[in-house]
Amino acid sequence: MDGDRLALAEAFLQEAVFQSRAKQAAGTVLAAGASAKPTNCGLGREAAVVLELSPRGRELFEALFPLVLPDEALASLRERISAWVERQDQLDRDRNHFLKAFRQRHGFDRRAYSAEQLADYDSGLAEINARADRERREHAARILA
């Protein structure tokens, strides 16, 4: 698979996440003023999926799919983008839960962590980030298939 095209597809997926997160953040802020219980990780209760393209999203879409997509292909693309936004939401929740648990065990001040604690912190984040990168590439390959 063409590496440039794969990189464009990854950027396109990230743009979909950014668009969705803007809606999710607005919903979280509005809910904070309501009597609803707050969530633990700051991402709200569930992923928000927005399939409207930002100007950057449209640029990426047109670069990836210069020809008009048939309705069936477009529907499949929407499903794959939605699946990625929901998966990215879960990966971000995993990261936030890792950080919260680590900080509850060891405190918030990284300067006070031992060398072993810092190594555990860094390796834990690196594992989550590597998983997110790997899965984003896999999803990008799927939207190009």
Cα 3 to chain centroid, rounded:
21
What local confidence, expressed as pLDDT, does residue 26 receive? 52
User: Contact, 49 vs 86, CB < 8 A?
Assistant: yes
The yes-or-no verdict on residue 27 having pLDDT over 60 is no
Within 10 A of 74 (CB to CB), how many other CB atoms are there?
Answer: 12
Q: Please, which residues have CB within 8 angstroms of residue 1's CB and are 6 or more apart in sequence? A: 141, 144
Average pLDDT over residues 127-133: 97
More confident residue, 45 or 130: 130
- State the residue range of the domain holding 109: 3-144
The yes-or-no verdict on residue 140 having pLDDT over 90 is yes
Averaged confidence pLDDT in the chain: 87
In angstroms, the CA 113 to CA 115 distance is: 7
What local confidence, expressed as pLDDT, does residue 98 receive? 96
What local confidence, expressed as pLDDT, does residue 74 receive? 94
What local confidence, expressed as pLDDT, does residue 50 receive? 79
Q: Please, which residues have CB within 8 angstroms of residue 65's CB and are 6 or more apart in sequence? A: none
Q: What is the DSSP string of 41-58?
A: SSS-SS-----PPPHHHH
Number of domains in the chain: 1
What local confidence, expressed as pLDDT, does residue 84 receive? 95
In three-state secondary structure terms, 114 is coil
What local confidence, expressed as pLDDT, does residue 116 receive? 97
Cβ-based burial of 140 (10 A; exposed 0-12, middle 13-18, buried ≥19): buried
What local confidence, expressed as pLDDT, does residue 32 receive? 53
Q: Please, which residues have CB within 8 angstroms of residue 115's CB and are 6 or more apart in sequence? A: none
DSSP 33: T
